[in-house]
């Protein structure tokens, strides 16, 4: 009986551990036999000849076909969806090549979205037989003004679609994990590649970033060039005061050409009132300094509280509370189960004694 009880307690410990610990190794444990191989054309920039993405010189115009070999090394057929996306910048300060939000809007300074210049000429959904490959093709077409200088950036996205009829589920420690794989092949069209970067600060508001309250300084790369290695130092003070009440620094920010993102300056408490933002940014030899006042209203504070999924008063995040409640329920359920099991065992022993 003691051995059985120990087994139940061990199960309880494992159950709690599985709930409170993410499956950090799940994706790495899967063997992925779906991959892509870009076919590099002759007009690839010299500096990128050995790269597995496209960096194409379009000084002589568009009008060419680019190709990617899509390989299925599985024992069953697969379907792969392809799509051309414009490059964007995430609020973490990273260039992103896969944007599927229906409400997404291009930056006002983006003159030539990649998705309007690169058109798929192979089916949007590729059906690939086991242990074979297909060639995905796209055509570069359209008109780019002769006076345009800079780069046009985006990605060619390949997403392996889940098929419930195929063995796309892997077992990891008896836990079913569904795996989806995607590749983004960068496409950069370059014409007079090196142009001077232009950084702007169009607006400031309060909101949330990663479920935390933050002042959001919208930074815009208004130039057709990749802005990399950008170091940012942002300081917030009350209007007409030099005392810094909030500060945030970040190094190595990257901004895609002609895109904008919200640089987050986290705060714990910000009352309605007038404030001032001083933001210094530097990328290599280029430096920018912004000084701008902004107003925080009571409505702004309420919306920020809602967006952050926190109560305005100090307290725990909702997901922490939910996790604690879930663990308590599981522990109580198992305790009740153990008590009932012990009671049943005792009743069985009593019945056996009376029978003797």
pLDDT tens digit sequence for 206-257: 999 988 899 999 999 999 999 999 999 999 999 999 999 999 999 999 999 9
Query: Quick one: average pLDDT of 38-57?
Result: 94
Name which residue leads in pLDDT, 21 or 307. 307
Record the pTM.
0.73
Per-residue pLDDT tens over the stretch 109-153: 999 999 999 999 999 999 999 999 999 999 999 888 888 999 999
DSSP assignment string, 286-352: EEEEEEEEEEE-HHHHHHHHHHHTS-SSS---HHHHHHHHHHHHHHHHHHHHHHHHHHHHHHHHHHH
What pLDDT sits at residue 172? 31
What pLDDT sits at residue 10? 38
How far apart are alpha carbons 210 and 167 in whole angstroms? 35
Spell out the domain ranges in the chain.
1-26+316-356, 31-191, 199-308
- If phi > 0 it is left, if psi is from -120 to 50 it is alpha, else beta; for residue 234 that is beta
Percent of the chain past pLDDT 90, that is, above it, reads: 62
What pLDDT sits at residue 350? 65
Query: Strand, coil or helix: what is 193?
Result: coil
Instruction: Name residues whose C-beta falls within 8 Å of residue 275's C-beta, 6 or more positions apart in sequence.
Output: 215, 236, 237, 238, 239, 293, 294, 295, 296
If you ran DSSP here, which 8-state letter would residue 47 be given?
G
What pLDDT sits at residue 29? 28
Query: Which of 56, 95, 118, 45 is closest to 221 using CA atoms?
Result: 95
What pLDDT sits at residue 180? 61
Query: Quick one: average pLDDT of 280-309?
Result: 93
Per-residue pLDDT tens over the stretch 8-23: 333 333 333 333 333 2
Structure tokens that stand for 123 in this block: 């089916």
β 54-57/182-191 pair status: parallel
Query: Quick one: average pLDDT of 290-318?
Result: 77
CATH of 31-191, one of 3.30.470.20, 3.40.50.620, 3.50.30.10, 2.60.40.10: 2.60.40.10
Name which residue leads in pLDDT, 26 or 54. 54
What pLDDT sits at residue 60? 87
Query: Quick one: average pLDDT of 163-177?
Result: 40
Superfamily of domain 199-308: Immunoglobulins (2.60.40.10)
Structure tokens that stand for 176 in this block: 């079913």
What pLDDT sits at residue 318? 58
Average per-residue pLDDT in the chain? Answer: 83
If you ran DSSP here, which 8-state letter would residue 242 be given?
-
Same fold, 31-191 and 199-308: yes
What pLDDT sits at residue 252? 96
What pLDDT sits at residue 269? 87
């Amino acid at each position: 009986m003691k051995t059985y009880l120990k087994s139940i307690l061990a199960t309880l410990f494992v159950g709690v551990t599985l709930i409170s610990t993410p499956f950090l190794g799940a994706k790495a444990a899967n063997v992925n036999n779906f991959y892509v191989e870009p076919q590099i054309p002759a007009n690839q920039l010299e500096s990128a000849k050995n790269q597995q993405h496209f960096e194409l010189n379009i000084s002589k115009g568009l009008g060419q076909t680019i190709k990617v070999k899509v390989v299925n090394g599985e024992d069953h057929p697969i379907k792969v969806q392809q799509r051309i996306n414009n490059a964007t910048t995430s609020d973490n300060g990273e260039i992103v090549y896969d944007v599927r939000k229906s409400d997404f809007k291009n930056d006002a300074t983006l003159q030539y979205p990649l998705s309007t210049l690169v058109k798929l000429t192979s089916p949007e959904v590729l059906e690939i037989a086991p242990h074979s490959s297909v060639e995905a093709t796209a055509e570069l077409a359209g008109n780019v003004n002769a006076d345009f200088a800079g780069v046009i950036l985006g990605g060619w996205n390949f997403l392996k679609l889940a098929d419930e009829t195929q063995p796309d589920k892997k077992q990891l420690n008896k836990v079913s994990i569904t795996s989806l794989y995607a590749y983004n092949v960068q496409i950069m069209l370059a014409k007079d590649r090196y142009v001077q970067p232009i950084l702007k600060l169009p607006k400031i508001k309060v909101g949330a970033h990663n479920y935390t309250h933050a002042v959001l300084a919208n930074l815009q790369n208004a130039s057709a060039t990749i802005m990399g290695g950008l170091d940012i130092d942002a300081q917030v003070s009350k209007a007409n005061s030099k005392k810094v009440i909030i500060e945030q620094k970040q190094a190595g920010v990257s901004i895609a050409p002609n895109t904008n993102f919200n640089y987050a300056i986290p705060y714990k408490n910000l009352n309605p009132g007038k404030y001032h933002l001083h933001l210094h940014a530097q990328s290599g030899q280029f430096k920018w300094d912004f000084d701008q006042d902004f107003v925080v209203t009571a409505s702004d504070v309420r919306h920020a509280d809602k967006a952050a999924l926190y109560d305005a008063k100090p307290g725990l995040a909702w997901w922490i509370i939910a996790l604690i409640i879930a663990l308590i329920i599981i522990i109580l359920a198992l305790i009740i189960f153990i008590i009932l099991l012990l009671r049943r065992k005792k009743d069985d022993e009593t019945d056996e004694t009376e029978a003797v």
